[in-house]
Amino acid sequence: MGANSSSICELPENEYLKRLSGAEAISENDPFWNQLLSFSFTAPTSSAELKLLEEATISVCKSLVENNPRTGNLGALVKVFLSRTKELKISAECQNHLFIWQAHNALFIICYLLKVFICRMSEEELQLHFTYEERMPGSCGVECEDLIEELLCCLIQLIVEIPLLDITYSISLEAVTTLVVFLSCQLFHKEILRESIIHKYLMRGRCLPYTSRLVKTLLYNFIRQERSPPPGSHVFQQQTDGGGLLYGIASGVATGLWTVFTLGGVGSKPTPQQEQSSPLANQSLLLLLVLANLTDVPDAPNPYRQAIMSFKNTQDSTAFPSPSPHAFQINFNSLYTALCEQQKSDQATLLLYILLHQNSNVRTYMLARTDMENLVLPILEILYHVEERNSHHVYMALIILLILTEDDGFNRSIHEVILKNITWYSERVLTEISLGSLLILVVIRTIQYNMTRTRDKYLHTNCLAALANMSAQFRSLHQYAAQRIISLFSLLSKKHNKVLEQATQTLRGSLSSNDSPLPDYAQDLNVIEEVIRMMLEIINSCLTNSLHHNPNLVYALLYKRDLFEQFRTHPSFQDVMQNIDLVISFFSSRLEQAGAQLSVERVLEIIKQGAVALPKDRLRKFPELKFKYVEEEQPEEFFIPYVWSLVYNSAVALYWNPQDIQLFTMDSG
């Protein structure tokens, strides 16, 4: 590096890097810094090239770690950067490319060195490296023990105060990336960090007043999805005489290293379009998720989570409830549009979950929208392609549906939205179907997939809870949706019979051989019977509350009436079978009276007439089915590893050696 274009292979012998990492202390005012920061080289475009960058600079980094306690050159570099950021806002307004270029290069080096240091040492050791400086008589400046806080505060100010222009895009992205790197200590701990030096700086002291502005800026970065500027629009062209400091900036360094990795585990594999879309939006969202999931400390709840929980719509003129120390306002329409458009990524789905679950203002706004299909369809598509998604992404999508179905207005309105030609649904051509019926189809498909593949009770429970919440509001169910409800019950019935037969055979075998029966079958039987009862309750709820609205469900019920025979006298199902048995008997009788060889249309006509004639008081009333999503007691044990696995797999400009990661395993995410 320095005032010449550089390539990765040249870095180990680069004279400027050797001097930075060497045994000689370099003053903040030394012209060396101008030379060091006037560099460019072609950016790595793959994880393999990023590994090459790391391998090429191993000797330099080792040397700096060894010599920095005596030279304080890391601290000097940070102070050079801090001094240059004071004029960044004016530089942006005046289009001062040179100043911004060198400030960016300084931050690029700091970010890279910081990542290397964090991989190799504890936070306490890292803090010490920021305190080392060459002791000179009469020297003054930033208190050494506050240099980390000074840098963190400066990065936040840069993000929230510097206008986002073509010439500032690179340094804004690098500032966000550096904050992610500062927080990446968590990756190298198996346990959740609850006592962190970096967390303390960010949640208290000088950084605290910027909380709401930082959260708001990161959200707006996500909303705007600003693409990286085209090459040449924000860089210098190399001078023809080759002199001076105005050397051409290779697009890689000037705009950050924008390669996205998918090394296994959690995280969505980016498409080429996603890779080139908005690095700043992607990185800002990841940083926001990391900040939102910092652990509380006894005397200081997470201020970033408080900000996310309390912000309001710009059109909301009501006063904030007191106290709301980190409240702010943002355009909900723009936020809603961005969330609808970005649901293919894990991180956008996780943000949607957090907002729906924790911010009542956002939840109320979204449930009042008249175009909910724009949000629900991408969520359904995630569940539909369950084979291609990681389990965490599927869970988040499912919990979002569960939260939405807690609202009766949502459950009514989804049956009024008619969709045409759902191209991604391949089992059957759906030329016209309600959003509600499509939701039922996708959730049932998810249950069936889970039964045959993952066998996850948690997923079963949440799928059934969402169906149960909707069941009283089922309206005009599509014939295919009605068939799939009964088909799922048929599948459960067969599974029940199979497990019951296996349990009986095992019991007979164990009695004849004087061995105790295996308990596994009893447990399996209990789980299946719980699911069967839930399905019966869902069918019963629909028949009790909206029989006359659902002739297709009655038709499917009558067509498969034999399925329910074995459960009429079963002690676990007798009560809930009463209404179902009554409906089957009532409509079967009317069909027998109508004669044989009836067409489908005639059967449906008889069902519609019978639904009006059936006295409502003959159906036994049951308590309304309502399930509410409740977060686990220690959600951080799930969310913090999940968020960091997203950072690991999806972060722009970052690469960590998988062998160094402690927080999660690479094969499971």
Percent of the chain with pLDDT over 90: 59
The alpha carbon dihedral of 430, 431, 437, 439 has a sign of: positive
Residues in Cβ contact with 485 at an 8 Å cutoff, skipping those fewer than 6 apart: 440, 444, 477, 535, 538, 539, 553, 556
469: nearest Cα among 545, 393, 362? 545
Torsions phi, psi of 260, nearest 5?
A: -105, 135
Model pLDDT, residue 7: 66
Report DSSP letters for 210-226, one per residue. GHHHHHHHHHHHHHH-P
Lowest mean pLDDT among 308-322, 451-465, 562-576: 451-465
Question: Look-up: residue for tokens 């949607």?
Answer: 352
Q: Cα–Cα distances in Å, from 592 out to 565, 585, 587, 588, 598?
A: 19, 11, 9, 6, 10
Model pLDDT, residue 525: 83
Reported as a single tens digit per residue, the pLDDT across 371-411 is 999 999 999 999 999 988 888 999 999 999 999 999 999 99
The answer on pLDDT for 264 being more than 70 is no
Q: Are 628 and 640 in contact (CB under 8 A)?
A: no
Tokens of 540: 């019963």
539: nearest Cα among 559, 554, 558? 554
End-to-end CA distance of the chain: give it in Å, rounded. Answer: 36
Q: What rounded mean pLDDT belongs to the chain?
A: 85
State the pLDDT confidence band at 39, using cuts at 50, 70 and 90: confident
State the pLDDT confidence band at 513, using cuts at 50, 70 and 90: low
pTM of the complete model: 0.89
Reported as a single tens digit per residue, the pLDDT across 138-186 is 444 444 458 999 999 999 999 999 999 998 998 999 999 999 999 999 9
Reported as a single tens digit per residue, the pLDDT across 422-466 is 999 999 999 999 999 999 999 999 999 988 876 777 888 899 999
Compute the average pLDDT of residues 12-28.
91
Lowest mean pLDDT among 365-369, 459-463, 631-635: 631-635
State the pLDDT confidence band at 64, using cuts at 50, 70 and 90: very high
What gap in Å lies between CA 650 and CA 282, rounded to an integer? Answer: 8
SS3 per residue for 243-279: CCCCCCCCHHHHCCCCCECCCCCCCCCCCHHHHCCCH
Lowest mean pLDDT among 50-54, 448-452, 600-604, 623-627: 50-54
Model pLDDT, residue 665: 61
The answer on pLDDT for 249 being more than 80 is no
Per the model's pLDDT, the better-predicted residue between 547 and 264 turns out to be: 547
Q: Cα–Cα distances in Å, from 496 out to 129, 458, 490, 533, 633?
A: 64, 19, 10, 12, 33
State the pLDDT confidence band at 260, using cuts at 50, 70 and 90: very low
Model pLDDT, residue 42: 52
State the pLDDT confidence band at 274, using cuts at 50, 70 and 90: very low
DSSP β-ladder status, 418-420 and 329-330:
unpaired
The answer on pLDDT for 336 being more than 80 is yes
Model pLDDT, residue 291: 97
Reported as a single tens digit per residue, the pLDDT across 226-246 is 998 876 554 443 333 333 223
The answer on pLDDT for 2 being more than 80 is no
The answer on pLDDT for 262 being more than 50 is no
